[in-house]
Each structure stands twice: as structure tokens, then as C-alpha cells.
Amino acid sequence: MQRIPTIPFFPPQASTAAGPIDNLFLGMTVICGIFGVGICIALVYFAVKYRRGNQADRSNAPLYNLPIECLWTFGPLVLLLVIFGWATSVFLSVKRVPPGATQIYVVGKQWMWKLQHPEGRWEMDELHVPVGRPIELVMTSEDVIHSFFVPAFRIHQDVIPGTYTRIWFQPTLVGSYHLFCAQFCGTFHSHMTGTVTVMDPADYQRWLSTGTYQQSLAEAGALLFRQHGCSGCHGAGSSVRAPSLEGLYGHPVPVQIPPQGTPVTQLRAALAKTPATTVMADDKYIHDCIMLQDKIPAGFEPIMPVFKGRLTEQQVFQLTAYIKSLATSRTLTSGTAGGKYTGTLTPEEYRSRTGFVPTNIKALTGEAPGNAPTGNAPTGPSPETNDIIFGNASRNQGRTLR
């Protein structure tokens, strides 16, 4: 007997998030259906009973009914609060990345997906992951807004140029699943598709060990770090005063944020009047420090060149992985793990995390520079260094300072 084909109303539930999301969707559908059907039945009933010409009793109609008014006011309120709590719990479970999740870096570009594993292997429009292991996707775009959508996992996240977005999932079923771009992104938007392949852990390790890649993300980032002259300023023993990157990632750092649109020639004057604040040195901070010049490490000259247009987003991922690998080298707090910072830093905190107290500490913190450097303590790039960086362009040909 020929089997009757079924209509797939839902894709398979292939991740830990799929079940709770489907239950929430079905629950809201049932609630809306009950109210919708009930309202339609009442509408038809009253329309028939009180139609023109019907001998229904219309005398002594009640002007109000307190129990009914309380029911239709507080009943939906309680129901909406229950739905809100239910939806919030599902949302938080999808957004909170569990510890130990494997990070995979994703770059969207018209009209393809580029994905790279921490071990260095990269894929195009394909993603291989092991079953039962949480996976965190760190995503950005090189051109326009895209949207990473895997229906079987119930994950859907916009991918935005100039910033990082994240989503995580834990696959539960071995198999191949569709990957789409769910945001119109140009002429060949419909071609921006791919496949997510979920494998047994042993098969995944064998697959990961094959391929032509020779470097991990951090190793590739270390090579870029040297190629672009970053070690000339941030390396040990460099002649240019720049923030140390050892132990930077994951810690609060003091920065100055100049007014938006400040010309490069007026940055020094603007920073002298700008109070310092603290930001967390995460992926976004490192990205902005490399590609933009909107956050200047407090107490340092704004001499780092902008690498936007000179590095791809994939290369920024590699540099970030290298800086992450330096995170455990030393501690950047004031000797207290997990210290809290309110945005106003003392001279001691500046010295602890930058190695010196800048001469403009009073303008930064509003306090007297009681711990200003003395003797031969360095306070920033020398005038000769500034001349090299801001002087005639012909004198800088072939040299990249950072």
C-alpha cells in the first residue's frame, strides 16, 4: 500500500532549545485559539439572539456587572503575566551561554557564510559540530545585515556589520540540517544557504583532524600580530609606550571616549578634557580598538592607526583569539580579584593596570596627581615618537606603528 505523504508543519527538534520554544509557541497558540473561538461563538450567539425582529427581552439591561468586569480585567492580566514569565525563562535559557561552550566564529558576506573553528579549520556554507556539546557562535558581517537561521535548532540571530552578536545551541540529533539567511541582503539573498552537520563526537574529531589548515586561530593571530607591526608597540621592550596585552582579555580597562566626530588632529586636546571610564575588554572592545579609534586607553597617546579596510573580519577574529591566549599571563586589577569599578579610577588603579600614572590624572579623575610618576618613569610616547607618527607621511613609508 502506498504511504500517504505527511505535511511537515514543524522541522525536527534537533537541539535542546527546540522543545521549550515549540511548547511556548503551541501554548500561546492554544490560548489564543481558545479566546478566539470563545469570542466568535459569543459574537454569533448574540448576533442571532438580538437580531432585528427577534422577540428577545431587551428590558432592564444591566449597566454594569462587577464580577464580570473583575474577571475580564484581572483574568487576562494574570494570564499575560504567566505567559511573560514562561517566555522570559525560555528566552534566558537561549541567551545564557553555558560554561565550556565551544566558540565558532562566523562571518557573513554577500552571499556566503564563512565559519572557523578554534583549531583553525574553516568552512564555507557548512558547519560541522558534535552532538551533545554546547556550541557558541560569535558572528559579524563584512557588508550588510544578515541573519543566521537554523530551523531545526530554533535559533535565529541577526549578524550585523561592525559588532558581534552571539547565539548558542546544543544539538541532540545526528544528521544534516538547513542553514538560511533570514534577512534580505541583496540580489542573491536566496542563494545564501548552507548545511549544519551534526556528528558523533568521535567522527567529529576525525573530521576536525583532516583538512588543509596548519594553524589554530591563535597561531594565525600571532602571525598577523607580527606582520602588521603590532609587536613593535605592544611587545615587551618596545620603544613606544602602549598598553600591555598580557592579561587584558576579560578584565576592566580604563579608557577615554572622545566626543563622536572629533578630528584626529584634535584628539589630544579632546582627551585632556575627557574623564576616564572603564569598559570590559571583551571581543567587541578588541574589535573596536583594532578597526576604529573610538576608545583610547586612558593615559596613552592616540597613536594607533585604524585598521578598518586593511584587515578583514576573519583576521580580527584571529587577532582576538591570540589576545585571548595571553589572558592568563597576569592580573590587571588592583590586587583584588573581581574588583568593582564605578568608572572613576584612582591613581593607584591606573598605575596597577597601565604601569604608570599619566600626567593628566587630575583631568581624568578630578583628583590631585598625588601619585604622579617621578624620576625617569615613562609617561607616554616621546616627542620623537610623536614626530614619527604624526609627522610627514614620507618619513613613515614602509613602517607600521601601533
Domain with CATH 1.10.760.10 in the chain: 218-396
| Angle between helices 217-227 and 313-325 in degrees, nearest 10 | 100
277-280/193-199 β-pairing: unpaired
Which superfamily does 218-396 belong to? Cytochrome c-like domain (1.10.760.10)
Grid coordinates belonging to 393: 607621511
- For 232, residues 6+ apart whose C-beta sits below 8 A from its C-beta are 238, 240, 400, 401, 402
Give the per-residue pLDDT at 189.
93
The pTM assigned to this predicted structure is 0.69
Structure confidence at residue 43 (pLDDT): 94
Q: Which CATH architecture has domain 102-209?
A: Sandwich (2.60)
The residues with which 173 forms a beta bridge, in sequence order, are: none
117-126 pLDDT per residue, tens: 988 888 999 9
CATH 2.60.40.420 residue window(s) in the chain: 102-209
Q: What is the pLDDT of residues 305-358, one digit of tens each?
A: 888 888 888 888 889 888 888 876 543 333 333 333 334 456 666 666 555 555
Residues in the chain with pLDDT < 50? 330-344, 366, 368-402
